[in-house]
Amino acid sequence: MILLEERNRILEETFRERFSRPVEEAERIFLTLHDFDGVSYLVETKESKSIVLFSMSMKCYPELRQYGADNVLVREYGSLFQATPEPGFEVTLRIDEVALAGQDTEELVKKLALLKRNALAAPFEAAFYAQSQGQQTNIMTVNYRDQEAIYVMGFPDRVTVIFSTVFNEEADQIFGRVFLQEFVDARRQPAIQNAPQVLYSAREPPLELRGLRLSDAENIGYVTFVLFPRHFTPGPIREETISRIQLFRDYLHYHIKASKAYMHSRMRARVESFLKVLNRAKPEKPEDQKEKKTIAGKTFKR
């Protein structure tokens, strides 16, 4: 499995299973689960067995609200979106199963699994809209993780997305550099010449972010994606692009860790083979020290 999925499988299956049963058989549910980037969900039945409250806790949501996330969620989930979220959460959707009875719920199930993706889509949609109008936006900052952020900027002719990512270990840093160098060089291949341009800077924030006075510590890297209008033509292409871009940081770190694990298992195998070679250097015990058995079963050393 090389690519990460943007929808949350557990949520999807939970809701699909729940909606496929008739409303009369609805049971209580209290499910907490976590997603990438520190996001957690709670699915519970508080008021009655057939009303499901689906809440998401996402620390950066206030920033996203500035960029129009509420509007995006209202657009996607309509009347399910609650103006005041449950305490401790930033977004709540209220699903009344009685109202859903009889309808085809497959679409809704898929949309619910994309809640995080839809919330995070707000700054991207804002930037794409500005570009289509030929305008420039300010830098939109989303601090979606503790020390890492996404910066989205729309220009008249393109949209730039910059990731700042922290590598906690030196090995991660070096692997990260190798991987990111490949991202930068990948466009040489004829098959992916149309992909967005990727730029990588090891410690220095890129020019667009100079005004923000960001850290340039040893273990920080900045990755810039330059998206041209053909990457976000309205419709399925735009939706796909938004989903893919959001997951970039998790994708990168997932593969760095997978490579480290692979290296370790290779080294372990190699160490074992060395041990075997060394053991060849030990001679067998000479004849006179081997234990021997008589026919009667007694053992003795000669």
Partner 1 sequence: MCLENFSSQVVERHNKPEIEAQTTKEALLTPVQISRNENEKVLVEPSINSIRISIKIKQADDLERILCATFTRFLMMRAENFVVLRRKAIKGYDISFLITNFHTEQMYKHKLVDFIIQFMEEVDKEISEMKLSINARARIVAESYLQQFS
Which residues would be at the binding site for partner 1 (CB under 8 A)? 2-3, 170-171, 174-175, 177-179, 181-183, 185-187, 189, 191-192, 194-196, 198, 231, 240-241, 244, 248, 251, 255, 259, 262-264, 266-268, 270-271, 274-275, 277-278, 280-283
Q: Compute the Cα dihedral for 21, 27, 28, 29 and give only its sign.
A: negative
Choose between 28 and 282: whose C-beta lies nearer to partner 1. 282
Choose between 188 and 213: whose C-beta lies nearer to partner 1. 188
CA-CA distance, 100 to 79, in Å (whole number)? 12
Q: Please check whether residue 138 is in contact with residue 151, taking contact to mean a CB–CB distance below 8 angstroms.
A: no
| Burial class, 142, CB count within 10 angstroms (exposed 0-12 / middle 13-18 / buried 19+) | buried
Partners of 197 in the beta sheet? 226
Residue type at 137 in one-letter notation: T
- The answer for 289, left when phi > 0, alpha when psi is -120 to 50, beta otherwise, is alpha
Choose between 108 and 199: whose C-beta lies nearer to partner 1. 199
| Burial class, 238, CB count within 10 angstroms (exposed 0-12 / middle 13-18 / buried 19+) | middle
Q: Please check whether residue 45 is in contact with residue 51, taking contact to mean a CB–CB distance below 8 angstroms.
A: yes
Choose between 45 and 246: whose C-beta lies nearer to partner 1. 246
Query: Closest approach of Cβ 82 to partner 1, in Å?
Result: 34
- CA distances to 4, 33, 144, 270 from 59, rounded to whole Å, are 22, 15, 7, 45
Choose between 77 and 175: whose C-beta lies nearer to partner 1. 175
Residue type at 251 in one-letter notation: Y
Choose between 60 and 180: whose C-beta lies nearer to partner 1. 180
Q: Compute the Cα dihedral for 244, 19, 39, 209 and give only its sign.
A: positive
Choose between 191 and 296: whose C-beta lies nearer to partner 1. 191
Query: Closest approach of Cβ 55 to partner 1, in Å?
Result: 31
How long, in residues, is the chain?
302
Rounded to the nearest 10°, the torsion over CA 139, 144, 146, 151 is -20
